[in-house]
Amino acid sequence: MERLADFETDIVATKAASLTADATTTRDKLDRLFRYVRDDIVFGFPPEGDFVKASDTIRFGYGQCNTKATLLLALCKACRIPARIHFSLIRKDIQKGFFTGLAYWLVPDEISHSWIEVEIDGRWRKIDTFINDLPLFNAAKEALHERGWSTGYSLALTDGEASPDLDLDHEAFQQMAAVTGDHGTWDDPADYYASAKYRNRPGRVKLWAYRLMIGRINRRVRDLRAGAVI
């Protein structure tokens, strides 16, 4: 399968270079890459599902946990920051509120999910706080509190809290509280997607249904980001 974290392509390499041009340390570089993926690549569900190259996510300007993780992985590799992608299973209620009715019913109880790990100062550190752009994070957290939910709208609260920040020394998360089974670390998402561990591989009918409903689901994401009650 073709590499998805295509860090050597012009668009990814150029973006990584422009974002980090004035950064003097690895932490500075990572902070700039993180903020770009978190906020300039807004949260949303591509019709292609997980099978989106990093270069295409830059062109689209939006992505979900797995496609945004693929992009951050590629940008780190382009900057020679040691990075890997970690896959797991996550409860489907992470997307409760965006996926409703038939769309929610079609989603398996556990789905494949990923975050990024980077090696800084000789230690691998987990990062998932790039998943939701800051306006969506704030709106989603408020919506969860209003509904009395701990999980949904692409957030999983731990003791009522989650974080939108990059904190390498005191790891905080957005979705880790909903993670279940561990599928380990991988050099490129394509390797995981080709394995028997991958859970999000839809059949033709489910893929057709997903593409039919994804426009409405993404409207719910946009409406919540804009402050609407959904």
At 138 the pLDDT is 97
At 24 the pLDDT is 93
At 124 the pLDDT is 97
At 9 the pLDDT is 98
Query: Could you read off the pLDDT of 3-27 as tens digits, one per residue?
Result: 999 999 999 999 999 999 999 999 9
CATH code, domain carrying 92: 3.10.620.30
Residue 1 domain flag: no
How many residues are listed for the chain in this entry? Answer: 230
C-alpha 168/C-alpha 224 separation (Å) is 29
At 17 the pLDDT is 98
DSSP state of 69: H
C-alpha 33/C-alpha 19 separation (Å) is 7
Residue 63 domain flag: yes
The per-residue b/e assignment along 69-90, b for 16 or more CB within 10 angstroms, e otherwise, is bbbbbbbbbbbebebbbbbbbb
Q: Provide the whole-model pTM.
A: 0.96
Residue 61 domain flag: yes
At 205 the pLDDT is 77
**Tokens 């556990």 found at:** 110
Residues in the chain with pLDDT < 70?
A: 1, 229-230
At 204 the pLDDT is 80
Residue 46 domain flag: yes
Q: Tally the C-alpha atoms within 13 A of residue 7's C-alpha that lie toward its C-beta.
A: 22
Residue 4 domain flag: no
Number of domains observed in the structure of the chain: 1
At 201 the pLDDT is 86
Residue 134 domain flag: yes
Per the structure, the complete domain to which residue 97 belongs is given by 10-225
Residue 5 domain flag: no
At 45 the pLDDT is 97
Residue 3 domain flag: no
